[in-house]
Amino acid sequence: MSKFITNHDVTDALKEVIFFAKQNNIVDLNMIDNIEIKGNDIKISVIFPKLDDPSVGIVYNSIVKTIKDKLGEDVNVEVLPISEKDKGLGPLSGVKNIIAVIAGKGGVGKSTVAANLAIALSKEGKNVGILDADIMGPSVPIMFGVEGQQPGVIERQGKPVMVPLENHGVKILSLGFFVQPDQALMWRGSMINNAFNQLMKDSEWGNLDYLVIDMPPGTGDIQLTLAQSYNIRGTVLVTTPQKIATADVRRAAMMYRQDKLTIPLLGLVENMSYFTPDDQPDKKYYIFGKGATDELAGELDIPVLGRIPIGEKIVESGDGGTPIILNGNEKITLTFKEIALNVLKEIDKL
C-alpha cells in the first residue's frame, strides 16, 4: 500500500473487530489503549478484562486479519494485550489491599476481629470497607448497626451495581443482605460464590486502602475459590488459645500457603486470651490455656499480632452495633489499635 497510514485509518478498521463477550466493537468499547504507526509497522495495545481468556486470542487474530484486509497485506501488525487491572481499570481497581480474616473453626471471634480491625484502620485515616462473606453467620451488619438495611443500587456502564452501606467510617456489604438466616443451609457452593462475586465486583467500593473480608471458617471449596479468584494481600488468622483451636487454624493456614496459592499470612490474633476481673486489674487468668498460639506462630514463622482478653463488653458492644474499639476508655481499644498497626507493619514488609 503506497498511501501514508494514519491513526484514523487504523481506528476505522478496528471498528470492525467485535469483542463478543460485550457484543460491540473494540473501539466503541474503549478497549484501544494506544496505536503507534511507523511506516508500515502498526503497534496496537488493547485492554482486556483479563488476559487468561480465549477471547484475547480471537480478538488478536481478528485485528491482524482486519487491518491487513483494509490497509494492505504488506503492513506489519503487532497487538499488545494488557489487562484492565494493569491499566488501573476494572471493578476492583480502586481497592489497594484485600485483607482476609480467617479462622479454622467458627465462634473464635473472627467477625469481632474483622469489624474492630476495619474500624481501627479507618481511625488511622485509611479508606476502609468490610465484606461479610460468612453466609452461615453473617454478623457484620449487626456489629455495624445496619441490620435490616439494604444497600443502594446505581447503574454503572448500563449494569446495576450495589452501593455499600456506611457506618463508623467503614463501607459495608454482607452476604446477609441476600439471604435469610434460616435459608443459609440451602445455599449451594455455586450460589454462594456468585453472591460473593457480586459483592466484590458488582459493587461501587470506590477507592479503598483496605477491604477487610470476614471469611467463612474452615477450609472448604468456597474458601479455596475465593482465595484463588482474588488478589488477596494477606490473611489475618484468628484463634483461641486451646490446642484444639490452633490445630484447626494450622489446617486453614496451610490451605492459604499451598503451592499455587501464595497468599501471605500476616499473623495470628489470639482471641479470648485471658481474663482480668474488674477488681483485679493486674491479674491475668489464662482460662483456655497458654502457649499453643505462640507455638503455632513459631511453627508457621509468623508474628502474634495481638492478644484480646475475654470481656463481656466485647459481646455487648458487638451485639449493640458499636464495636468496642469505638469506646475510647477501654483498654481493649488499645489492643485493637495495636493489632491494626501490626497488620499495617506486616503489609509494609511484603
Ligand X SMILES: Nc1ncnc2c1ncn2[C@@H]1O[C@H](COP(=O)(O)OP(=O)(O)OP(=O)(O)O)[C@@H](O)[C@H]1O
103 binds ligand X (CB under 6 A): yes
Closest-by-Cβ residue to ligand X is 106
Pick one of ligand X, Mg ion, none as the site partner of residue 104 (Cβ within 5 to 8 A by kind): none
Stretch that binds ligand X, among 26-34, 79-87, 124-132, 311-319 (CB under 6 A): 311-319
Extended beta strands in 168-295, E state:
170-174, 208-214, 234-239, 265-275
215 binds ligand X (CB under 6 A): no
179 binds ligand X (CB under 6 A): no
In angstroms, the CA 310 to CA 274 distance is 6
Cβ neighbors of 169 (< 8 A, separation 6 or more) are 119, 122, 123, 128
Stretch that binds ligand X, among 62-70, 107-115, 218-226, 279-287 (CB under 6 A): 107-115
Shortest spacing between CB 138 and Mg ion, in angstroms: 8
DSSP 29-94: TT-EEEEEEETTEEEEEEEES-SSSHHHHHHHHHHHHHHHHHH-TT-EEEEEEEETTTTT-STTTT
For Mg ion, which is the closer residue by CB, 142 or 208?
Answer: 142
271 binds ligand X (CB under 6 A): yes
112 binds Mg ion (CB under 5 A): no
134 binds ligand X (CB under 6 A): yes
The single residue among 81, 104, 137, 234 that binds Mg ion, judged by CB under 5 A, is: 137
The single residue among 191, 254, 287, 315 that binds ligand X, judged by CB under 6 A, is: 315
Q: From the CB of residue 184, how many other CB atoms can be counted at a distance below 10 Å?
A: 17
Shortest spacing between CB 119 and Mg ion, in angstroms: 16
104 binds Mg ion (CB under 5 A): no
Could you tell me the sign of the dihedral formed by the alpha carbons of 246, 250, 256, 262, in that order? Answer: positive
Cell of 147: 441490620
272 binds ligand X (CB under 6 A): yes
Count of alpha carbons within 13 Å of 123, Cβ hemisphere only?
A: 20
Q: Please give the residue ranges that form the binding site for ligand X (CB under 6 A).
A: 103, 106-112, 134, 137, 139, 217, 271-272, 308, 310-311, 314-315, 318
